[in-house]
């Protein structure tokens, strides 16, 4: 199976040897702390390093077992049955599932190629707005600088809490980095989260939140009552990786591997897709969003593609209640090789053209 469904790094992206050395060094250096219970908000020295990175006090940082676990805690704290929450349309499917499970009323914000449209934020009271401004999952879109400023401004004016999820910000191959909405808002009124899943390894399960101090304490209490303390060995290993300077060199290497894959995906799409097909051209991240206005429904295309050993995620999975994106596909280029990308996209192109011919 050629999988455009897996939004994970290709195996060769993972720095196994370096991480093994870091784990050993972390245990030898601070083993008695790492191997015990401790604060639910994370390994102290990593919390401090992240606090310094963001220019905040360490009591505003919560290091969670992957950033999705932090989302689940935050949602548990802020959402009850009927609570209104704003999300981009489309958005990452796992938070949608968590919100639906808690009974949230999910309200969507429209997007275009420059990301969410701040001036179209629905009126009313919302627990928070969940946004992925850079190389969004699933669309690969990035919120423009102007819109980042506008979003920070609107959030302040309306007293709307924005949760900025930024796991892909450093996974950039071209172009200039943009400031986070958190930074533009001066660190107030915007909660920020990121993860080492895409920059180090998903299996370390280390994500982090920058929150108002009171909310951070509440999330830490939820963490304690869920798992007592997070796995410090992972967190200390990541810290050692940062301290040794492995992080930057590894990121450069990984971004090089991913750039080849992104290029292979864009070249293949240009070669095989019909003229009316539209797709995003991200400067980083893992995903391309492909729309086939006159193509077959993505669910049908998926069933046929899987028969031909190619898979992807259908667009409707990224809309609340599956309403939207019927003719859209999320294509992850992060996991498969450039050769597999060329082959898999050719298969998709043939199926799309065959469906168009059959419809004539
Ligand atoms: C936008 C977004 N947020 C969060 C996550 C989850 O990250 P973690 O592995 O840190 O839980 C992902 C993973 O794909 C993602 O795409």
pTM metric for this prediction = 0.97
* pLDDT of amino acid 36: 98
Residues written for the chain: 360
134 contacts 107 by C-beta, under 8 angstroms:
no
| Structure-token pair, residue 284 | 């980083």
> Cα separation of 125 and 137, whole Å?
25
* pLDDT of amino acid 357: 86
Task: Specify the ligand 1 atom closest to the Cα of 71.
Answer: 4
* pLDDT of amino acid 356: 86
CA atoms within 13 A of residue 58's CA, in its CB half-sphere? 10
Concatenate the DSSP letters of all residues of 2-42 into one string: EESS--S--GGG--HHHHHHHHHHHHHHHHHHHTS---TT-
Residue located nearest, by CA, to atom 6 of ligand 1: 68
43 contacts 236 by C-beta, under 8 angstroms:
yes
Q: Which residues, judged by CB distance below 6 Å to any ligand atom, belong to the binding site of ligand 1?
A: 7, 66-68, 92, 132, 137, 165, 167, 195, 197, 202, 207
* pLDDT of amino acid 252: 97
CA of 359 to the centre of ligand 1 (A): 38
CA of 334 to the centre of ligand 1 (A): 14
Q: Which residues contact 263 (CB under 8 A, 6 or more apart)?
A: 338
pLDDT in tens, the chain (360 residues): 999 999 999 999 999 999 999 999 999 999 999 999 999 999 999 999 999 999 999 999 999 999 999 999 999 999 999 999 999 999 999 999 999 999 999 999 999 999 999 999 999 999 999 999 999 999 999 999 999 999 999 999 999 999 999 999 999 999 999 999 999 999 999 999 999 999 999 999 999 999 999 999 999 999 999 999 999 999 999 999 999 999 999 999 999 999 999 999 999 999 999 999 999 999 999 999 999 998 899 999 999 999 999 999 999 999 999 999 999 999 999 999 999 999 999 999 999 999 988 887
């Amino acid at each position: 199976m050629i999988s455009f469904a897996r939004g994970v790094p290709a195996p060769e992206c993972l720095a196994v040897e370096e991480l093994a050395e870091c784990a050993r060094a972390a245990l030898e250096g601070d083993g008695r702390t790492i191997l015990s219970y401790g604060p639910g908000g994370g390994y102290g020295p990593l919390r401090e390093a992240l606090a310094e990175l963001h220019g905040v006090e360490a009591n505003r940082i919560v290091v969670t077992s992957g950033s999705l676990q932090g989302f689940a805690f935050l949602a548990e704290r802020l959402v009850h049955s009927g609570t209104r929450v704003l999300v981009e349309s489309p958005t990452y499917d796992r938070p949608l599932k968590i919100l639906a499970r808690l009974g949230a009323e999910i309200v969507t914000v429209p997007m275009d190629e420059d990301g969410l449209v701040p001036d179209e934020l629905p009126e009313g009271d919302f627990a928070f707005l969940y946004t992925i401004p850079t190389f969004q999952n699933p669309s690969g879109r990035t919120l423009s600088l102007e819109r980042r400023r506008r979003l920070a401004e609107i959030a302040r004016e309306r007293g709307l809490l924005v949760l900025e999820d930024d796991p892909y910000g450093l996974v950039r191959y071209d172009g200039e980095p943009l400031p986070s909405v958190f930074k533009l808002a001066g660190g107030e009124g915007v909660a920020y989260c990121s993860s080492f899943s895409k920059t180090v390894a998903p299996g370390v399960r280390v994500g982090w939140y920058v929150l108002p101090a009171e909310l951070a304490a509440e999330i830490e209490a939820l963490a304690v009552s869920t798992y007592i303390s997070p796995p410090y060995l992972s967190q200390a290993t990541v810290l050692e990786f940062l301290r040794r300077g492995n992080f930057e060199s590894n990121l450069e290497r990984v971004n090089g591997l991913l750039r080849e894959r992104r290029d292979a995906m864009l070249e293949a799409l240009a070669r095989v897709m019909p003229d009316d097909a539209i797709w995003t051209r991200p400067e980083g991240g893992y995903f391309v969003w492909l729309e086939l206005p006159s193509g077959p429904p993505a669910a049908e295309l998926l069933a046929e593609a899987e028969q031909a050993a190619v898979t992807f995620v259908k667009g409707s999975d990224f809309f609340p209640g599956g309403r939207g994106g019927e003719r859209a596909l999320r294509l992850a280029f992060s996991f498969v090789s450039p050769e597999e990308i060329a082959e898999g996209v050719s298969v998709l192109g043939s199926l799309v053209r065959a469906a168009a011919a059959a419809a004539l």
